[in-house]
Amino acid sequence: MSFDQLHRYLFNQAHVRGELVRLENSYQSILDSYAYPPVIQKLLGELMAATSLLTATLKFEGDIALQLQSDGPVNYAVINGTHDQKLRGVARWDESLSELPTDFSQLFQKGVLVITITPADGERYQGMVALDKPTLAECIEGYFQQSEQLATKVILRTQQTDTSAKACGMFLQILPTSSQATITEDTGFDHLSKLTETIKDEELFTLPAEDILYRLYHQEDVEVYAPADIVFKCSCSRERSANALAAVEKSELLNIVATEGAIKMNCQYCHTEYRFDEIDVHAIHAGTFSMDTQSDQ
């Protein structure tokens, strides 16, 4: 089965691009990093699938982050994806609540979706849209309609069982080079969108990707590209944590070690803990800290 892969395709006669993403191991890696309740697991799965789909639209090296912010039960959720499909993410919610709402719109109050695009070379771009629609997929569609005037269709679905978790997504968008980017009836976008909406959960979660695309679009002129592999990968490291500590006064770090026994730094994405003792602190501020001289974690 072709999970943890992104499939891109092009409808040659309609000037519409499409994508299919299906996640399993990469999705499970995020869920394994923290004890997320089921509704947050579902939210992260949809957000992860959506980020992968949008990352595939990048024309340059860099990354894209989809971030949800609100004053409601879910305070913060973000998935970051690189141009080569390395994903990581985290969510924060009001853990004092004994039960979270299951309805998407009730999870957020004054909520916004912030999409940040960061090229490896060039200026960062950030856009946002209110979380004022019934689903995350519809909010993303609204973002493209509002910010880029591009007709877009997004489908996001998740499946959690006792033994596995899967997240799937589909994406259709009129090519931005088309002079009719917002005139869907003349490009065939509406027709393709209706075909895509017929996809069933059972098909998304059980059939090979090639079978899904054939079932939906076998009467269309579709060019399918080689799939891209997707992995969960956090960019944190002990070295990066040490670099951050180098900006803190040495005396302050030594006081923390004396009081706590060690400096503990936790990655917000993967929850890996990095520990630094007195020897590490001296090495960091002497500029001699390395993987060869560090003390054990």
Looking at residue 233, its pLDDT comes to 78
Handedness of CA 277, 246, 34, 111 (dihedral sign): positive
Looking at residue 272, its pLDDT comes to 77
pLDDT tens sequence for the chain (297 residues): 589 999 999 998 888 999 999 999 999 999 988 889 999 999 999 999 999 999 988 888 999 999 999 999 999 999 999 999 999 999 999 999 999 999 998 999 899 999 999 998 888 999 999 999 999 999 999 999 988 888 999 999 999 888 889 999 999 999 876 555 555 445 689 999 999 999 999 999 999 999 999 999 999 999 999 999 999 877 777 888 888 888 889 899 999 889 988 898 887 777 778 888 888 888 888 888 775 544 444
Long-range CB contacts (within 8 A, 24+) of 54-59: 54/81, 54/115, 54/140, 54/171, 55/81, 55/82, 55/83, 55/85, 56/6, 56/8, 56/19, 56/21, 56/85, 56/171, 56/228, 57/173, 58/83, 58/117
Looking at residue 215, its pLDDT comes to 94
pTM, 2 dp? 0.81
Burial of 144 (0-12, 13-18, 19+ CB in 10 A): buried
Looking at residue 295, its pLDDT comes to 44
Looking at residue 58, its pLDDT comes to 85
Query: Cα–Cα distance between 117 and 289 in angstroms, integer?
Result: 33
Looking at residue 274, its pLDDT comes to 85
* Secondary structure element (H or E) that encloses residue 189, with its range: helix 189-197
Scanning 70-188, the segments in alpha helix (DSSP H) are 136-147
Looking at residue 187, its pLDDT comes to 64
Looking at residue 294, its pLDDT comes to 45
